[in-house]
């Protein structure tokens, strides 16, 4: 009886932060597209960020939303 070999392993890289500061409209998709364009030489390459560089981004995003709404009614 022939045993089926184990499938080759795939592995996730060590996590890195996608962003270190808030950019309006930032998203995983935008990050991916930017990297793809950088690989193709169509956009500047981004610096790598520390794994904890994006820790405060959800809070910054919340404050930005509130500021945008406030600005719209001043």
Partner 1 sequence: MTALAMAILSAFQGLLDDPAGLLSEGSANPLDRDWENADPDDPAWEFLSPQALPDPGTGCIIGVIDDAIPFVHQRFTLPGNLSRTASVWLQDARFRSDRGGDLPSGAEWRGAELSELLARAATGDLPGEDAIYRLTGAVDLAHPAIPSGAFETGHGAAVATLAAGFDPADSRARNHPLIAVCLPPRITADSSGVLAPLPILTGILFIITRARRLCRFIERQGGLPHGSVRLPVVINVSLGLTAGPRDGSTLIERFMDAVSARQADDLGPVRFVLPSGNHRQDRLRARLRPGQQIGWRLPPGDTTFNAIEIWGPPQDHAPRGDLQITLTAPGRAPATTALTLPWQYSVLSDPDGRPLARAYYTPHRLRDGRWRDGIVAIALPTCPERLREPFAPPGEWRIQIAEGAPDGLYDLSAQRDAVIRGFRRGALQSWFHDPAYRNCDARGFPILTDAQNGGDPLAIRTDTVNTYATGDWPLRGGSAYRRNERATVPTALLNDTQPGDCLAPVDQAENNACMIVRGRDSGSFALSSGTSLAAPQLARWMALQLSQGKVLDSRAAIRRLAESQSARHAPTPVVDFPARFPEF
Spatial CB neighbours of 24, under 8 Å, sequence gap ≥ 6: 64
Containing H/E element for 71? helix 57-73
Spatial CB neighbours of 43, under 8 Å, sequence gap ≥ 6: 34, 37
Q: Rounded to the nearest whole angstrom, what is the least distance from the CB of residue 6 to partner 1 in the complex? A: 7
3-state secondary structure of 7: coil
Q: Rounded to the nearest whole angstrom, what is the least distance from the CB of residue 71 to partner 1 in the complex? A: 4
Q: Rounded to the nearest whole angstrom, what is the least distance from the CB of residue 4 to partner 1 in the complex? A: 11
Contact residues for partner 1 (CB under 8 A)?
6-19, 23-34, 37, 39-40, 42-43, 51-55, 57-59, 61-62, 64-65, 67-74
């Amino acid at each position: 009886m022939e045993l089926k070999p184990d499938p080759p392993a795939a592995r996730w890289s060590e996590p890195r932060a996608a962003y270190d500061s808030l950019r309006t409209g930032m998203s995983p998709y935008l990050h991916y597209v930017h990297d793809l364009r950088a690989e193709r030489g169509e956009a500047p390459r981004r610096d790598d960020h520390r794994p904890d560089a994006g820790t405060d981004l959800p809070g910054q995003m919340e404050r930005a939303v509130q500021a945008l709404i406030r600005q719209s009614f001043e």
